[in-house]
Amino acid sequence: MLKVMLIDDEPFILQGLKILIDWEKEGYEIVAALSNGKEALDYLKNEEVDLIISDIQMPVMTGLELIETIQKEGLSKARFAFLTGFDDFSYAQRAIKYNSIDYILKPVQKNDILALLRNVSDLERENKEKEGDRKKMEDAYLARNVIALIKGKYDGSNLEYVKNHMQLSGKIRYVDIEIATGLSEGEEEDDSDMRLLQHQLHSACREVQKDNINHFIFDVSYDESSYDVGFIYCENMATRYDLTDDDYLEGLTKKIEGVMLKPVRMICGKKVNDISQIAKSFSSCRMLNSIKGFHNEKRVYIYEDEVQIEQKSAYLCKKSLDECIDAIEKNEKNRIEKSVEKLYEEMYNIGENSNLVNLNINYLLFQLIHLATEQDDNVNQEEVIQYISENSFENSLSRGSREHLKNFALQYADYLMSLRKNVSRGILSSIEKEIAEHYAENISLRNLGEKYYMNSSYLGQVFRKKYNVSFKDYLTNIRINEAAKKLLVSDKKINQIAEEVGYMDCDYFIRKFIDIKGCTPSKYRKNNNPN
């Protein structure tokens, strides 16, 4: 509701203005009804209003004296409208001089007041839209500067702008925030749905952390198929409440989940001394994200807790690890299984514990990332590691167990073989042909990967790289285009055409059709059918 102040030295006029129209219906609330400008000045020193409707001729202080004082002292940004019983152009001239938006003659007519209120409402709406656009531009510009720092490609102006526009105090870490729900078997990501969920996550983060909303950055990840939100965490966010990093981030995660009504996960990079070093924290966050599949599931993963490389008590089983890496690189299945067994036997003989297992598995995964990067440095290897580790995990296993690692090693060996053959060059044309012929069937990256002996995560990345869209969007476009053809050459019902192009859910088909064609199937048929 917009707040309005009425000022007139004649009580019956004030009462008449109150009952002349339904103020609430027009979106207004009368917060003050006063008899002169002095009373108005006293009120405005402590309260804010959006619109002042004032008589010009009043005792103690006139309406014109009031607006002059308000503007000179900067007391209020309220819009001003004058009432007067004098049809005198000199009053109108002075009112215009002080940017009064209206000049209404007494006796006041209902339509005149309604026109004034609706004009003010329109102006307020325009101002809010402009202010919103300005704020979005400022946020976007700050985000670009922050991302430059996160990715390590920045200059002094980027650094200075970020330091001047963010509340940075104490040590800092980069935190990746993501929705923790996974996809069901055979299900593929729908980019538009995931993007919507990402926007909701970003809004939820800003809602629960209003004091630091510009610390949440949309679209940070190198991987364009990622739907997470970046968070620049500062140590003082926790210390001012006498909390540890773990406690503060756990609490923040729960608050975000309360808004999203979905489980949320945080991956926290290592702590650095200054925002200029945030790229190091981001890099460690990506590494931690790739190996978390071998650690127990949590709400919050903190780098220092999960990657304990420098423990004096921990022992690196270097010989067994090198043998395991060599077997994976050569894709020798029997040798892979034996080398994993040998690694766990050695860890058991030393005195198997979670720290020892984490140390050795982390070392193995980091070496495998390096090995794959040598084959193809254009692929996000951390994402592939994450995907394969999750895919190789079964509910009957423990995360980081020998069977989990064995399944992972066997799948990763197949992935490396795909990289060496550089199969993406030849296989994608075959896959493209298969999609064109079988688009109406239940096609997924997973079953295509199995058919062509490719890791499905790697296949998804090279597919996106070649066609500039995800596999899911590529398939959707083909299905919708085929449906559009059928709409124009037949009189089949919409649900029948939906089934023929691969959609059992007609409502979902219609939504996708609107997304791509900009209208419903029925309207498309009507607008484009010459008959």
Domain count, the chain: 4
- 367, 386, 421: which is the final residue of a domain? 421
Provide the CATH number for the domain around residue 184.
Answer: 3.30.70.270
> Which secondary structure element, helix H or strand E, spans residue 29, and what is its range?
strand 28-34
Same domain, 15 and 118: yes
> Which secondary structure element, helix H or strand E, spans residue 474, and what is its range?
helix 471-489
Same domain, 198 and 271: yes
- 51 located within any domain: yes
CA atoms in the 13 A half-sphere facing the CB of 336: 20
pTM score: 0.59
325 near 374, Cβ under 8 Å? no
* Residue 172: predicted pLDDT: 94
Q: What angle do CA 284, 287, 293 make, to 5 degrees?
A: 135
* Residue 365: predicted pLDDT: 81
Same domain, 389 and 478: no
408 near 304, Cβ under 8 Å? no
* Residue 359: predicted pLDDT: 77
* Residue 133: predicted pLDDT: 80
Same domain, 276 and 325: no
DSSP H helix total and E strand total for the chain = 23, 10
Quickly tell me which residue has 């008590």 as its tokens.
313
- 111 located within any domain: yes
- 185 located within any domain: yes
* Residue 382: predicted pLDDT: 65
Tell me the pLDDT tens digit for each residue of 43-54: 999 999 999 999
- 222 located within any domain: yes
Same domain, 177 and 300: yes
Provide the CATH number for the domain around residue 439.
Answer: 1.10.10.60
- 13 located within any domain: yes
Q: Round to whole Å and give the CA distance between 271 and 301.
A: 13
Same domain, 394 and 453: no
- 242, 273, 306: which is the final residue of a domain? 306
What does the radius of gyration of the chain's CA atoms come to, in whole angstroms? 33
Q: Which two tokens stand for residue 302?
A: 């903190």
Same domain, 122 and 187: no
Alpha helices, H only, 21-109 = 37-44, 63-73, 89-97
Same domain, 365 and 386: yes
Same domain, 401 and 323: yes
Q: Round to whole Å and give the CA distance between 139 and 276.
A: 19
Tell me the pLDDT tens digit for each residue of 413-463: 887 877 766 555 567 777 888 888 888 888 887 788 777 766 677 777 777
Alpha helices, H only, 331-380 = 333-351, 354-375
- Identify the three-state secondary structure at position 482: helix
Structural domain containing residue 367: 318-421
Quickly tell me which residue has 């949440």 as its tokens.
216
Which positions of the chain have pLDDT values less than 70? 86-99, 181-192, 221-226, 308-314, 351-354, 374-384, 386-398, 420-426, 453-455, 530-531
- 158 located within any domain: no
Q: CA separation (Å) from 227 to 7, 182, 194, 502?
A: 54, 13, 7, 26
- 146 located within any domain: no
Same domain, 16 and 107: yes
Same domain, 412 and 429: no
- 126, 149, 182: which is the final residue of a domain? 126
Kindly report the length of the chain: 531
* Residue 368: predicted pLDDT: 82
Q: Round to whole Å and give the CA distance between 206 and 217.
A: 10
- 312 located within any domain: no
Same domain, 191 and 73: no
* Residue 191: predicted pLDDT: 60
